[in-house]
Amino acid sequence: MKNLFFVLVFTMTSVFIGCAQKKAAETQSISLSVKEFQSAILQQGVQVLDVRNADEFKNGHLKNALLVNWNDPKEFQNKTQHLDKSKTVYVYCQAGGRSAAAQSYLIEKGFKVINLEGGLSNWKMNNLPMEGNANMAQMEVSDFEKVIKGNELVLVDIGATWCPPCRKMQPVIDKIKQVQGNKLYLLNVDGGNDMEVMKYLQFESMPTYIIYKKGVEVWRKQGIVASQDLEKALQ
């Protein structure tokens, strides 16, 4: 009887350890070399996440990358909740430190995350392609005002292609534009570049949507907006 008890305890312990090891293997941090990372992000539907700041991003980033600043905890938490947990997240920073920390955080939240070994510094050393232009011209406040005053109905969309909630909202904005047709002027403000206009608008976070009627601001909303709420505000 005693032997049977020990066998039972040993079996249960082995099963527990095996499950724990399997769980640890599933959640361990994975890093890829630049060549492996480059091949991986060419797949359809992958999520590429840049965890540096906006200035670093403008000076060069990977194609189709989303930007969420790891050094801004509130922004990082708010924006990464819009990522798709069913798809792998490929994360990078300048040298690999911030992205490793972000990887650990996201794994705890239930994401599968792969880090770029050595970051963009390693990427550049291998002469791999990047996107971005730090010298892109900004929108002038005077030009912004001309559009607002020169059109009956204007929807200002402050966002960026690298902003996860902005990208999530894009189908909603496309639908609104299609429904409204020529009645609506859609004015896109680049949240990573048009700094003077954003200061003028007292901008706080991306995305932000502002509606002007006959040159007067009548509605403003930050973050994800339901399609029906936006349509109602435009009526």
Say whether 19 is catalytic: no
Q: Which of 68, 166, 201, 225 is catalytic?
A: 166
Please tell me the distance from the alpha carbon of residue 65 to that of residue 180, in angstroms, as a whole number.
Answer: 30
- Residues composing the chain: 235
Please tell me the distance from the alpha carbon of residue 230 to that of residue 179, in angstroms, as a whole number.
Answer: 12
**Residue 159 CB coordination number (10 Å):** 21
37 phi/psi in degrees, rounded to 5: -65, -45
Please tell me the distance from the alpha carbon of residue 54 to that of residue 164, in angstroms, as a whole number.
Answer: 14
- Beta carbons of 80 and 87 less than 8 angstroms apart: no
What is the DSSP code (8-state) at residue 133? Answer: -
Q: Which of 49, 65, 163, 206 is catalytic?
A: 163
DSSP 3-state of 99:
helix
Say whether 163 is catalytic: yes
- Beta carbons of 180 and 157 less than 8 angstroms apart: no
- Beta carbons of 184 and 234 less than 8 angstroms apart: yes
129 phi/psi in degrees, rounded to 5: -70, 145
What tokens were used for 199?
Answer: 């200061």
The catalytic residues are 163, 166
